[in-house]
Amino acid sequence: MWAELLPVGRGSASGGYRRYAWTAADGECRAWFEEQAKARALDYEVDRNGNQWAWLGDPAAGDAVVTGSHLDSVPDGGAFDGPLGVVSAFAALDELRGRGARFTRPLGIVNFGDEEGARFGLACVGSRLTAGTLTPDQAHRLTDGDGVTLPRAMEAAGYDPDALGPDPERLARIGAFVELHVEQGRALDLSGDRIGVASAIRPHGRWRFDFRGEANHAGTTRLADRRDPMLPYAETVLAARREAALAGAVATFGKIAVEPNGVNAVPSLVRGWLDSRAVDQESLDSVVGAVESAAREYAAAHGVDLDVVRESFTPVVEFDHVLRDELARILGTDTGLTVPVLGTGAGHDAGILSGSIPTAMLFVRNPTGVSHSPAEFAAEDDCVAGVRALADVLEGLACKEPARG
């Protein structure tokens, strides 16, 4: 399965993947999913939002156990983010059939559409529409960099954009959703574990810092006469790093705009964007609060005005504790694995669905810790351990009794 997917949408120059929603590369991945479902005699369907499903047993019976992830990618993404969860889902089913497992609950495998949001700028479109947190109107207005709207893109790929909308009946049939994903950090590498269970998705947000001073000649303006916004900005970048380190959080100024942006001019405006994420709301508030008050002090010292605007915010997502503990119990008792419970700073479909149904995530070790880059990696042994862990979890949740002796 891995070898079949590997060449799809891969750039020859970067070695990274460009599998954007509703493009030809995405279509190839989706055709692959349909083939895998049919090769296993699963019931295949596409829901109103373009998400693909493969069923063993009748989902109408309810209380289904679903696993899966996404097949699309960020620009020049790695091979594992998304596809590892879908390939592992099919492989875990094969493993369970090999064990002679007897299913007592319907089992579903899903590929959520447009998870990364690389084309239309909004992540998790397929799961947000299904959960009803994105309205069809909002989805219809999404437009890519070439001016193509989401409805036109879906039509071109052979789907009906008028069907988009919430799918509460579908969600009501699902008793548990478990997403396996490559870890997007080094916690497992550092702890020496192959597999982890997610506890929560950390709260995160973006803040815009506008430092306004006075444009002037870089050669003739005495240092003492300047109101240079670059100086408090630079000090604020360092403060963000310091405050994040103190709080065990992360804070990044990764984007900046300067006016007039001339090499021989003292700037009039420096606009920097802060992205920060922390274990909980309290530490996030305290990091951003400390960065902001430091920035105000530095700005005042340089005669510069400062405005801070919060541009986006996503609160903490706590995964279902009962399901999380059940996963840790199944993996702990059945395999003797130590299963660390980890928080993550990245968003996922499982996080979106956690508001509607019990969800959980399994992480597979990524020794580079790198994600959203061709350098993202997981060793074959660890991927196999991930498949076994997922199979154990599905067996524990969806089968009458363990078939293994």
Residues that bind Zn ion (CB under 5 A): 81-82
Residue nearest to Zn ion (CB): 81
Report the residue number, 85 or 232, with the smaller CB distance to Zn ion: 85
Report the residue number, 244 or 350, with the smaller CB distance to Zn ion: 350
Q: Give, for 54, the enclosing helix (H) or strand (E).
A: strand 52-56
- Smallest separation (angstroms) from Zn ion to the CB of 53: 18
- Smallest separation (angstroms) from Zn ion to the CB of 319: 15
Would you say the C-alpha torsion 130, 96, 201, 273 has a positive or negative sign? negative
- Smallest separation (angstroms) from Zn ion to the CB of 305: 40
Which CA distances in Å does 342 have to 58, 69, 134? 33, 18, 28
Report the residue number, 226 or 348, with the smaller CB distance to Zn ion: 348
CA neighbours closer than 13 Å in the CB half-sphere of residue 289: 7
- Smallest separation (angstroms) from Zn ion to the CB of 295: 33
Report the residue number, 239 or 317, with the smaller CB distance to Zn ion: 317
Tokens of 21: 């929603």
Alpha-carbon span 145 to 153, nearest angstrom: 12
- Smallest separation (angstroms) from Zn ion to the CB of 133: 18
Report the residue number, 81 or 114, with the smaller CB distance to Zn ion: 81
Give one DSSP letter per residue of 172-213, joined into a string. HTEEEEEEEEE-SSSHHHHHT-SEEEEEEEPPEEEEEEEEE-
- Residue 364's nearest CA partner among 117, 83, 101 is 83
Bridge partners of 343? 200
Alpha-carbon span 191 to 361, nearest angstrom: 18
Tokens of 25: 């590369």
- Smallest separation (angstroms) from Zn ion to the CB of 117: 11
- Smallest separation (angstroms) from Zn ion to the CB of 325: 24
- Residue 178's nearest CA partner among 401, 404, 402, 386 is 386
**In 3-state terms, what secondary structure has residue 362?**
strand
Asked whether the bond before 260 is cis by omega within 30 degrees of 0, the reply is yes
Report the residue number, 19 or 227, with the smaller CB distance to Zn ion: 19
Report the residue number, 82 or 113, with the smaller CB distance to Zn ion: 82
Report the residue number, 79 or 244, with the smaller CB distance to Zn ion: 79
- Smallest separation (angstroms) from Zn ion to the CB of 7: 20
